[in-house]
């Protein structure tokens, strides 16, 4: 066993122990279930970071980074981008920018032009269509969203926002 493998197992064992999970550390599905069990546990952030930094599967490292970018404040983004293997950092950095943009466009007074929305990633367009309370952003997504799913989601949210409340 290489020193990296041993470090990975130790970090993962500590994390699994903290959430009282036992399983096969060689099984990426089990490792992901451990990570998922920890996402909501702020007191385990350091242990999660240690385990993610030692994770041997790039897909799991990226998955942890993506999840934590959405859960942690923007000031922590660089930490979670650093979890990703070098070959995947650009993709994780792009997601960090998307998450920041999404947060900036959540309020009802947020604005986005058709041109701006056109530069957004599919992920960002989908998430904004599902979550923003801004009518202006929803209208831009309804007219200029990249896919039918995005345009339809924005249209549904707009219609729901215009219904009288009971």
Residue 42: partners with Cβ closer than 8 Å, 6 or more residues away: none
> CA-CA distance, 132 to 163, in Å (whole number)?
17
The pLDDT score that the predictor gives to residue 10 is: 83
Residue 4 has pLDDT above 90, yes or no: no
Looking at the chain, the whole-number percentage of residues with pLDDT higher than 90 is 86
The pLDDT score that the predictor gives to residue 11 is: 87
pLDDT digits (tens, 9 = 90+) for 27-79: 999 999 999 999 999 999 999 999 999 999 999 999 999 999 999 999 999 99
- Cβ atoms of 153 and 125 within 8 Å: the answer is no
The pLDDT score that the predictor gives to residue 9 is: 66
Structure confidence at residue 127 as a pLDDT band (50, 70, 90)? very high
Q: Which two tokens stand for residue 52?
A: 């993610």
pLDDT digits (tens, 9 = 90+) for 137-156: 999 999 999 999 999 999 99
Rg of the chain taking only CA atoms, in angstroms? 19
Predicted TM-score of the model (pTM): 0.88
Q: Mean pLDDT, to the nearest integer, of 88-94? A: 98
Residue 5 has pLDDT above 70, yes or no: no
Whole-number Cα distances in Å, 82 to 12, 79, 89, 156, 158 = 18, 5, 7, 37, 38
Buried b (16+ CB within 10 A) or exposed e, 83-99: bbeeebeeebbebbebb
Whole-number Cα distances in Å, 52 to 25, 83, 86 = 13, 6, 14
């Amino acid at each position: 066993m290489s020193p990296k493998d041993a470090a990975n197992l130790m970090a993962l064992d500590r994390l699994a122990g903290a959430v009282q999970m036992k399983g096969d550390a060689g099984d990426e599905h089990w490792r992901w279930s451990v990570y998922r069990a920890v996402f909501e546990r702020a007191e385990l952030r350091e242990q999660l970071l240690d385990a993610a930094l030692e994770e041997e599967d790039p897909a799991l490292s990226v998955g942890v980074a993506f999840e934590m970018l959405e859960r942690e404040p923007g000031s922590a983004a660089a930490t979670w981008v650093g979890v990703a293997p070098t070959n995947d950092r650009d993709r994780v950095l792009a997601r960090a920018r998307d998450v920041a943009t999404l947060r900036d466009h959540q309020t009802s007074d947020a604005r986005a032009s058709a041109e701006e929305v056109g530069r957004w990633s599919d992920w960002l367009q989908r998430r904004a269509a599902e979550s923003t309370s801004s009518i202006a952003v929803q209208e831009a997504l309804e007219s200029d969203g990249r896919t039918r799913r995005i345009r339809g989601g924005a249209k549904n949210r707009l219609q729901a926002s215009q219904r009288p409340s009971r």
